[in-house]
Amino acid sequence: MNGKVCVRRLRRTVTLRATTRLAWNTISKDPSFAKTHFGKAARQLIMLSEFRVWLMSVKFQGDCDEDELADPYMKGIGKLTSLNNLDQVEISKVFHCNGLLLCLTKDKTRLVVWNPYLGQTRSIEPRNAFHRLDVYALEKLGNPKNLESNSWRVLDATPDWEIDSYQRGVSLNGNTYFFAKEKIVVEGERWVVIDEEVKDFLICFDFTSERFEPRLPLPFYSYDGETVTLSSVREDQLAVLYQRDTCLMEIWVTNKIEPDVVSWSKVFLAVDMKPLTGSHHPFAFYAGSFFIDEEKKIAVVFDKDKEEINDRAYLIGENGYYKEVDLGYLNGYYQTSRSYEP
């Protein structure tokens, strides 16, 4: 991970023009679009398809405990558009925080903050150049509706840990949490782990103090080749998916999480995936996307199929509940979030 941290504070605007609200509704050209879709008990997911940003709606019905859970209602709502044709740019990564999207272009030459609600964008110019292994995060400040501010600072950081480039941070309460590992340095022909007692952990960047906080423990230790990825739960908790090399998949949820402290509940879900998939490696994704439904006690994991061609949604629950939904070929990765609202 780059040792430089760019911090930008987005001002909060008080007045919204009624005409600009239609920018968000260009998906349907209907001012009631947001009310119609976001008022329903369905989860809105941000996703990438063919390097464009889309919204998908997911809704469950029935009860998996009684094996009555029907196939989920999964529907693409529409493509997010902007007033200055950002939607025509190919996007390789997207990060969500409080209605704003941080987009990295496919050619890695542009980093853009995008407010789909107003159709506004603001480009971020690097001090030197973007790198394909850079990791990004976006700050939450109240309810930002405007991208007027153009104030920047660069913070120097020299971490003794590292974040894999495919790992995505999760925004909670205005801070961003990452899955991190010990930094391995080379001394001669030896690999040296700086701190052997902690193999992996969470790291929080606190946008208020503008610094990385101390390491936060995970409820497990992972090893190379195993999957660890993060997701948010409601507005204030974090979930972590851990797939062991033994095919055991575990999902843990925090009881409490702050920049400098974390406590974990009992495991939310623990499933042996081999009897369900017949594979020693049921998931191929690196830091792929997932979310949980606490009421239904279900996890939904987005991944490629075994041939790594088509995308699938894997529904995993208690008592052997397991379903696959073929989503077809999508040239991009799912980026899940909490219910997306402008």
Contact 313, 324 (CB under 8 A): yes
- Give the pLDDT band of residue 74 (cuts 50, 70, 90): low
CB atoms within 10 A of CB 54: 20
Over residues 101-113, the mean pLDDT reads: 81
User: Given a cut of 70, is residue 240 above it in pLDDT?
Assistant: yes
pLDDT digits 0-9 by tens, 249-278: 999 999 999 999 999 998 999 999 888 877
CATH architecture of structural domain 4-335: 6 Propeller (2.120)
User: Given a cut of 60, is residue 221 above it in pLDDT?
Assistant: yes
* Among 18-22, 36-40, 193-197, the range of highest mean pLDDT: 193-197
Higher per-residue pLDDT: 10 or 322: 322
CB atoms within 10 A of CB 154: 10
User: Given a cut of 80, is residue 284 above it in pLDDT?
Assistant: no
Locate the domains of the chain by residue range: 4-335
The first and second tokens of residue 148, run together, are: 């007027």
Burial 200-212 (b: 16+ CB within 10 A, else e): bbbbbbebeeeeb
Q: What is the C-alpha separation between 313 and 323, in angstroms, rounded?
A: 8
pLDDT digits 0-9 by tens, 161-216: 888 877 878 888 888 999 998 877 666 555 555 544 447 899 999 888 888 999 99
Closest CA to 58 of 69, 43, 47: 43
Stated pTM of the model: 0.75
pLDDT of residue 23: 35
